[in-house]
């Protein structure tokens, strides 16, 4: 039972309004159900009148600023993992009142069952906004490029392969009857490319001046400013992990488990954690294992893993290398050691394999 105070409040956050369920800790009796506008003014008006309470809410768009605000008002805030909440509730139907009550009652009995999450600071969220904004522009540019290529194919022609940065230079190769139609799209692609470069310059500057630890992570071939900064911002505090090996699971790169009796099937990775950072690490792993990846212990291990054969061996090798890369980056960050690409190459095969 919650020892912080006498009241536990389940708060189901909505984009415009949030439902509250107030529970008396000692008896489990319902004290109040109400809803308030999801605004700073309404939150302050309601919670500033209360004695210190335990407030339980789920991760969402508004959970960051609301949890920080409630903390300033003297309340204890528990931010629940939504996946854990859904499993505990065993109900796929969405009901604000029931969700708020469920959060309050579980928070009253045993908050650990909700797998409370530590939210990132506002500074970290803002810095991550640079990376996420750039990623959104890249996706928009890719969609426009695919549209232009598709239109050209419709008249029986094809545009040559090139990078997104150079796509704007292909205007003269577009069939004449489509140039007028596709010119605004090509101009938008060029504008997006310029904005993407602007974001990349900002990311470089922020990494250099505010997050110097990223320089150490960029010593690993294939890890650039974007991946290094994303890793530092998502992890935020490397001391959260007592063992570097757990970082891979935190980022959703470890296999899910469903062991029961004699059954222990080989499942896919969990894909929990930050989706963007996971994708960036996979991209780095593809470079490491690709034709231009320099020789390293990680590359040798990955190529050996892929050579084991079997269905989708190369894809599994990329994910495995991404997981080990996450472990390596955390290790470099916490120890401050200089990266040695072939550190294990001089050891015995057995020792090198164990070190990998």
CATH topology classification for 7-114 = Nucleotidyltransferase; domain 5 (3.30.420)
The pair of three-digit structure tokens given for residue 182, joined into one six-digit string = 């596709």
DSSP per-residue string spanning 245-279: THHHHHTT-SBP---BTTB---PPB---S-HHHHH
Phi, psi of 95 (to 5 degrees): -145, 115
Q: How many CA atoms lie within 13 A of 331 on its CB side?
A: 17
- Cβ contact 119:150 at 8 Å: no
Q: Is 165 exposed, middle or buried (0-12, 13-18, 19+ CB in 10 A)?
A: middle
For the chain, which residues make up each domain, given as ranges?
Answer: 7-114, 122-210, 215-355
Strand order in the sheet with 17-24: 30-37, 17-24, 7-12, 54-58, 76-80
Give the span between the Cα atoms of 325 and 332, in whole angstroms: 10
Distances (CA, A) of 52 to 70, 92, 155: 10, 32, 68
Give kind and range of the element (H or E) at residue 8: strand 7-12
Give the span between the Cα atoms of 10 and 104, in whole angstroms: 4
Mean pLDDT highest for which of 34-43, 104-113, 244-253, 264-273? 34-43
Q: Is 105 exposed, middle or buried (0-12, 13-18, 19+ CB in 10 A)?
A: middle
pTM: 0.81
210-231 average pLDDT score: 96
Q: Count the helix, strand and coil residues of the chain and give each as a percent rounded to the nearest 5.
A: 55, 10, 35
pLDDT grade, residue 35 (50/70/90)?
very high
Give kind and range of the element (H or E) at residue 139: helix 122-154
Q: Is pLDDT larger for residue 355 or for residue 50?
A: 50
Is a pLDDT exceeding 50 seen at residue 316? yes
Q: Looking at 28-32, 247-251, 311-315, which range is the least confident one?
A: 311-315
pLDDT grade, residue 311 (50/70/90)?
low
DSSP per-residue string spanning 196-249: HHHHHHHHHHHHHHH-TTHHHHTTSTT--HHHHHHHHHHH--GGG-SSTTHHHH
Sequence length of the chain is 356
In tens, the pLDDT along 138-189 reads 999 999 999 999 999 999 999 999 998 889 888 889 999 999 999 999 999 9
Provide CB contacts within 8 A for 53, sequence distance 6+: 4, 5, 7, 8, 9, 22, 47, 75, 76
DSSP per-residue string spanning 44-94: HHHHTTSPS-EEEEE-STTHHHHHHHHHHTT-EEEEE-HHHHHHHHT--S-
Give the span between the Cα atoms of 177 and 166, in whole angstroms: 22
The pair of three-digit structure tokens given for residue 251, joined into one six-digit string = 């980022």
Is a pLDDT exceeding 70 seen at residue 134? yes
Give the span between the Cα atoms of 91 and 87, in whole angstroms: 8
Give the span between the Cα atoms of 69 and 55, in whole angstroms: 12
CA neighbor of 106 nearest in space, from 54, 61, 158: 54
Give the span between the Cα atoms of 75 and 38, in whole angstroms: 17
Q: Could you tell me how far CA 184 lies from the centroid of its own chain?
A: 34
Quote the pLDDT of residue 345: 73
Is a pLDDT exceeding 50 seen at residue 348? no
């Amino acid at each position: 039972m919650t020892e912080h105070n006498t009241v536990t409040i389940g708060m189901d956050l909505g984009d415009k309004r949030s439902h509250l369920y107030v529970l008396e800790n000692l008896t489990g009796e319902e004290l109040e159900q109400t809803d308030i506008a999801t605004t700073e003014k309404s939150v302050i008006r309601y919670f500033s009148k209360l004695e210190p309470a335990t407030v339980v809410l789920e991760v969402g768009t508004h959970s960051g600023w609301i949890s920080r605000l409630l903390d300033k008002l003297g309340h204890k805030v528990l931010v629940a993992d939504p996946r854990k909440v859904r499993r505990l509730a065993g109900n796929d139907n969405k009901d604000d009142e029931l969700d708020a009550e469920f959060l309050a009652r579980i928070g009253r009995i045993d908050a650990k069952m909700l797998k409370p999450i530590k939210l990132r600071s506002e500074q970290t969220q803002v810095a991550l906004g640079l990376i996420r904004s750039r990623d959104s522009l890249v996706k928009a540019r890719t969609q426009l490029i695919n549209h232009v290529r598709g239109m050209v194919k419709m008249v029986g022609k094809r545009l040559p392969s090139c990078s997104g940065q150079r796509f704007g230079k292909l205007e003269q190769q577009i069939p004449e009857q489509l140039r007028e139609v596709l010119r605004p799209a090509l101009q938008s692609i060029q504008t997006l490319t310029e904005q993407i470069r602007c974001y990349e310059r900002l990311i470089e500057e922020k990494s250099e001046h505010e997050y110097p630890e990223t320089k150490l992570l960029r010593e690993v071939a294939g890890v650039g400013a974007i991946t290094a900064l994303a890793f530092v911002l998502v992890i935020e505090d490397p001391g959260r992990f007592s063992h570097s090996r757990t970082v891979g699971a935190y980022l959703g790169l470890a296999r899910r488990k469903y062991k029961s009796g004699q059954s222990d099937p080989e499942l896919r990775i969990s894909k929990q954690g930050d989706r963007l950072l996971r994708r960036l690490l996979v991209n780095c792993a593809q470079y490491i294992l690709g034709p231009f990846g320099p020789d390293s212990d990680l590359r040798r291990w990955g190529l050996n893993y892929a050579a084991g054969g079997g269905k989708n061996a190369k894809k599994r090798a990329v994910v495995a290398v991404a997981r080990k890369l996450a472990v390596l980056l955390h290790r470099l960050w916490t120890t401050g050691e200089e990266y040695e690409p072939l550190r294990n190459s001089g050891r015995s095969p057995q020792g090198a394999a164990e070190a990998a």
